[in-house]
């Protein structure tokens, strides 16, 4: 599981402290020893396992979970956002300060680059997170026994986790989505066993995304938001810009339509 195919923009565009007009609808619970944001109707038998990007619980991320929970009147979901990284998110000082359309990557400072790569191979190692999923799912189902059906959505780093976690015959998920995924590896698409939605930004490698879709043998929806930056649906979403906010909302609408079809 290589991280060499890292998106040029992942961990290069700093998160935005967006102003949100919607206070959180959910709450934080400790489930299976992990802080977890929980939102949605506890009566719903359908649940979404939401894997954040490496910046954790940014307002845009939490609001996205709420949109998925309540945005479709016909198909409402319980949504769970476990704190895989235990609050150990990247230091903002590692980020390139500019919000340029095509940011520099790797970071120009060798010391910062070394710290980033160490973080991605230790604290945020995808393999470690993947191994924890079955136990977390079991803990959530004990917390909310009404759940019968699972979907999963991952952002940036979370997209990499999904590519691998949905490649096993015993995956607990019936449908999956990856948004502005990092480390896009076309070979991993060959093993995916369930319907997949992928929403790349304009910063993901075009050829890698194209080959990834060509290698999928399952129902899929791949739609590139070409004028959006990597991270536009989570920590780097810009709610002050009307166009960017509109595309943030449209991205979640696409996810709701996809999960409404396959869950």
Residue 238 lies in a domain: yes
Phi, psi of 116 (to 5 degrees): -65, -45
Point out the least confidently predicted range of 45-59, 93-107, 180-194, 246-260: 93-107
Domain residues for the domain of 214 are 27-262
**Token pair belonging to 175:** 């449908």
Residue 55 is assigned to a structural domain of this protein = yes
Q: Return the DSSP state at 225.
A: B
Residue 243's pLDDT is 78
Q: Per-residue pLDDT for 11 more than 90?
A: no
pLDDT tens track for 43-79: 999 999 999 988 889 888 999 999 999 999 899 999 9
- pTM for the structure as a whole: 0.87
Does residue 195 register a pLDDT over 50? Answer: yes
Count up the domains in the chain and report the number. Answer: 1
What tokens appear for 139 in the block? Answer: 């803990």
How far, in Å, CA of 196 to CA of 173, rounded?
A: 11
In a domain, 137, yes or no: yes
pLDDT bucket at 18, cuts 50 / 70 / 90: low
Q: Which residues contact 120 (CB under 8 A, 6 or more apart)?
A: 3, 6, 157
From CA 72, how far away is CA 48, in angstroms rounded? 13
Look up the CATH number of the domain holding residue 187. Answer: 3.40.50.1820
Domain membership flag for residue 4? no
**Is residue 21 included in any domain, yes or no?**
no
Query: Which residues, at least 6 apart from 210, have a Cβ–Cβ distance to it below 8 Å?
Result: none
Give the SS3 label for residue 235.
coil
Asked if residue 79 belongs to a domain, the reply is yes
Residue 124 forms part of a structural domain: yes
Query: Distance of alpha carbon 116 from its chain centroid, rounded?
Result: 19
């Amino acid at each position: 599981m290589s991280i060499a195919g890292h998106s040029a923009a992942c961990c290069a565009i700093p998160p935005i402290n967006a102003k949100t007009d919607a206070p959180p609808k959910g709450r934080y619970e400790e489930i299976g020893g992990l802080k977890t944001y929980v939102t949605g109707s506890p009566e719903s038998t359908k649940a979404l396992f939401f894997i954040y990007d490496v910046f954790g619980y940014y307002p845009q991320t939490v609001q996205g979970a709420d949109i998925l929970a309540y945005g479709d009147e016909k198909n409402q979901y319980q949504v769970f956002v476990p704190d895989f990284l235990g609050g150990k998110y990247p230091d903002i000082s590692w980020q390139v300060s500019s919000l340029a359309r095509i940011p520099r990557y790797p970071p120009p400072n060798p010391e910062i680059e070394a710290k980033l790569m160490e973080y991605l191979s230790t604290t945020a190692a995808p393999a470690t997170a993947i191994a924890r999923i079955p136990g977390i799912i079991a803990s959530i189902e004990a917390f909310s026994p009404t759940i019968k059906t699972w979907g999963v959505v991952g952002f940036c780093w979370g997209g990499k986790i999904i590519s691998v976690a949905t490649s096993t015959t015993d995956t607990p998920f019936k449908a999956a989505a990856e948004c502005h995924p990092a480390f896009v590896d076309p070979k991993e698409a060959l093993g995916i066993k369930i319907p997949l939605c992928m929403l790349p930004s304009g910063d993901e490698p075009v050829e890698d995304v194209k080959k990834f879709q060509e290698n999928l043998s399952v129902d899929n929806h791949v739609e590139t938001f070409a004028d959006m930056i990597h991270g536009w649906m989570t920590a780097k979403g810009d709610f002050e810009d009307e166009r960017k906010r509109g595309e943030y909302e449209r991205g979640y609408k696409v996810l709701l339509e996809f999960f409404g079809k396959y869950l």
